[in-house]
Amino acid sequence: MRAASGAVLDNGLSAAEAAERSRRDGPNALPAARRANPVVEFVKQLVHFFALMLWVASGLALLAGMPALAIAIAVVVLVNGVFSFVQEYRADRAAERLRDLLPVRATVRRDGKPITVDATELVVGDVLLLEAGDRVCADATVLSGGRLSVDESLLTGESAPEHPDEGGRVHAGTYVVEGHGAASVTATGTHTRLAGIAQITAQATRPRSPLTGQLQRVVRIVSVIAVSVGVLFFGIALLLGFAPGEGFLFAIGVTVALVPEGLLPTVTLSLARAVQKMAARNALVRQLESVETLGATTFICTDKTGTLTRNEMSVVAAWTADGTVTVDGEGYLPEGRLYGSSAALSAAGALADSAARCSPDSRAVERGGTWHPVGDPMEVALHVLASRAGRPAPPPPLGRRPFDPYRRRSSVSDVDGLHVTGAPDSVLPLCVDLPAGAADAVQELSAPR
């Protein structure tokens, strides 16, 4: 529920107060998506416009004394329905596995002590403790923070992180990429901004695809033609002296013969093949007819990170006074190779090692078999470069001064000395022992282009 937090930064809520608010407000969880009844979804595959025409044709064939044809048409409809249902059911189950947007655990301060609780147990007024790599579990107001940087791309679509100050807002479903802080929970569960977006998504209606509209038009035209021809031949049969019963059966046979029984499975199998080919390219298609719409697409223009780009920052080259080094590697994987002269490789390794020491809060971590950044993506890329250069993990810092816009550099001291990173015109004047040509090379690379 929404309310003034009243939370005390030092102590947070008491365990008793948190339990009472949890009973009053309910769990901090998104509403479960209403699953469609599989039986209903299967029946839909058997009673759409085209299938109904085939059922009618099957019934007419049975009346005309052609049970084999009636059974064949019914089997076509059933097999097609089962195939379409299985395709869409599997796609829906795969999509459901992508909906786990909230984390399982969260760190809060209660009774003056930091504790880890299940994310569903968060309540309004809790003091939520955030650090790099955490996913925010509820909407909250920032109480304090140090270089707090939050990725809100899930809510806004923008890849650039936000930097909420004291009094700023963080939202459920976003995650902290850098810094640390404390925030007072102001909304949980169905009252969060994320829940509002989920509700809007659930209420969205899917328009009829062009293929569906065209098939319905074909069915209407074929139905009118088949019935008209059947009536015409019934009249001709009577004129030729057939008995009414015989003429009726003859007309039914003509009508059924005009129904394109093979069109439905042909369309379904063609779309299913396209779905399988897209699945091989890691594209999930939930509705078969959606594939047909893509067939008319010539260009897809988008600026959303994660579609055409991978939302990963990686070092591909390093320039040193001894030459250029190229870097080979995939994403944030620590494995990779550097190519260049021995002197350039040595200089690039020292450069990467010093840069990694300047960002002790950033690193790449493995989760579920894939590597993810924790901290500023550019700093994580420098850590990965150091790993690919064969450098050991940096020692713990003894002291540090974070980057600020006035100094335009950051510094970290450890057992091996002082490491500085920043703007060239801020760092170079402090250097007293530069390799030959290093200053000129840096100035050339940093000059406006």
Catalytic positions, please?
303
Q: Which of 85, 82, 75 has its CA nearest to residue 41?
A: 85
Euclidean distance between CA atoms 318 and 338, whole angstroms:
9
**8 Å CB contact between 144 and 128:** no
Euclidean distance between CA atoms 45 and 446, whole angstroms:
63
Ramachandran angles phi, psi of 182, nearest 5°: -130, 145
Write the CB contacts of 87 (distance below 8 Å, at least 6 apart in sequence).
272, 275, 288
* CA dihedral of residues 267, 272, 277, 281 (deg, nearest 10): 130
Question: How far is Cα of residue 264 from the mean position of the Cα atoms in its chain?
Answer: 33
Find the angle CA(14)-CA(20)-CA(22) to the nearest 5 degrees. 100
Helix (H) or strand (E) holding 381: helix 377-388
Q: Which of 234, 259, 229 has its CA nearest to residue 246?
A: 234
**8 Å CB contact between 373 and 413:** no
Write the CB contacts of 286 (distance below 8 Å, at least 6 apart in sequence).
88, 91, 92, 95
Helix (H) or strand (E) holding 151: strand 139-151
**8 Å CB contact between 240 and 230:** no
- Dump the DSSP string for 307-350: TSS-S-----EEEETTEEEEEEE-TT-S-EEEES-HHHHHHHHH
